[in-house]
Structure 1
């Protein structure tokens, strides 16, 4: 399979998986504290930055089909894009190790203020900006750092699995 075909196929699979996991766990994915299990996949960008387009596209589509529609799709994918870019930067800065993975896993929680802005300013929630920042950050932290880091720590220690996940072998 050539590189362009490989990229398009993997991007489509990642975006589709993100959407299917998010929507199949709808009751967890769109609540005040979002335990969006599909967010574990953001750590794929730690392995290869070429996962970013599929993850952003998946987030966009899942939010578009969610209860808040296009506005959530735009804000959510923007927050995801920033977090994913920082995941990649973190690996470049600190290396391919557990410490770096833990730091990288925190970026989605750090950028939760973007979603809080959306909820409080755009949708006019009566709860405070800081309330929503904490609520979104807690969900991101639990799913990505507490659940995702152990999984991806095992992955990055296994060269065979990493080779399978890399776009260009």
Structure 2
């Protein structure tokens, strides 16, 4: 890999991290808690197109979770949930499955429902049933990942300049 490609990848990852963090922090009133709609989760489809998004999303999530009301555990487990989802989304993008773009948002939904659901249950709301918390997190993820992520996939696929930039 040549130097200019490495720099371009670092720039792309940095831009994704900055956008993710800015969106999450700007909409912090609805980005944290048992009922959460983290707008930035719409970006979790980006590893479908580029491996650099895995790093960008992970760093962006880490930065965002500094202000989490759950505390330092969200820095660890929230970031882990994003990393797992980003890696899975990257491999979905590399697959030959015909309807893979409809699966691209799914890893973020599943990873966050399980990991963030468990985190919120044991740290934030121990009296609430786990399945209810996981369902609430999953619903917020479905709304953000599919309502923002799928149109974003369509925009990227139809725009050769953006698609080339992400390669």
> What TM-score do the two structures reach when normalised by structure 1?
0.88
In structure 2, the residue matched to 1:118 is 119
Give the whole-Å Cα distance in 2 for the aligned partners of 1:149 and 1:162.
15
- 5+ unaligned residues in a row in structure 2: which ranges? none
Partner of 1:60: 62
Is the contact between residue 101 and residue 153 of structure 1 (CA under 8 Å) also seen in structure 2? no
Deviations 1:35-83 (A, max 9, x none): 1111111111111112111110110110122222210111111111111
Once residues 70 and 15 of structure 2 are traced to their aligned partners in structure 1, the CA distance between those partners, rounded to angstroms, is: 24
- TM-aligned CA deviation for residue 154 of structure 1: 2.5
- Gaps in structure 1 of 5+ consecutive residues: none
Q: Distance in 1 between matches of 2:50 and 2:121?
A: 34
**1:47/1:156 contact within 8 Å kept:** no
Are 1:50 and 2:46 counterparts?
Answer: no
Q: Deviation per CA, 1:128-159: give whole Å up to 9, x if none.
A: 11111101100110011122202212312332
What TM-score do the two structures reach when normalised by structure 2? 0.89
Residues 87, 107 of structure 1: 8 Å contact kept: yes
Cα separation, 1, equivalents of 2:91 and 2:5: 23
In the alignment, the residues of structure 2 paired with residue 37 and residue 125 of structure 1 have an alpha-carbon distance, to the nearest angstrom, of 26
| Mapped pair 1:29 → 2:31 | yes
Distance in 2 (CA, whole Å) between partners of 1:58 and 1:125 is: 28
CA distance 1:150–1:68, change in 2 (3 Å):
same
Query: In the alignment, is residue 128 of structure 1 matched against residue 155 of structure 2?
Result: no
Distance in 2 (CA, whole Å) between partners of 1:85 and 1:22 is: 20
Partner of 1:152: 153
- Work out the CA distance in 1 between the residues paired with 2:152 and 2:143: 13
RMSD (Å) for aligned C-alpha atoms: 1.7
- What residue number does 2:92 align with? 90
Question: Conserved in 2, the CA contact under 8 Å of 1:60 and 1:77?
Answer: yes
Instruction: Please say if residues 59 and 80 of structure 1, whose CA atoms lie closer than 8 Å, have aligned partners that are also in contact.
Output: yes
Specify the alignment match of 2:107 in structure 1: 107
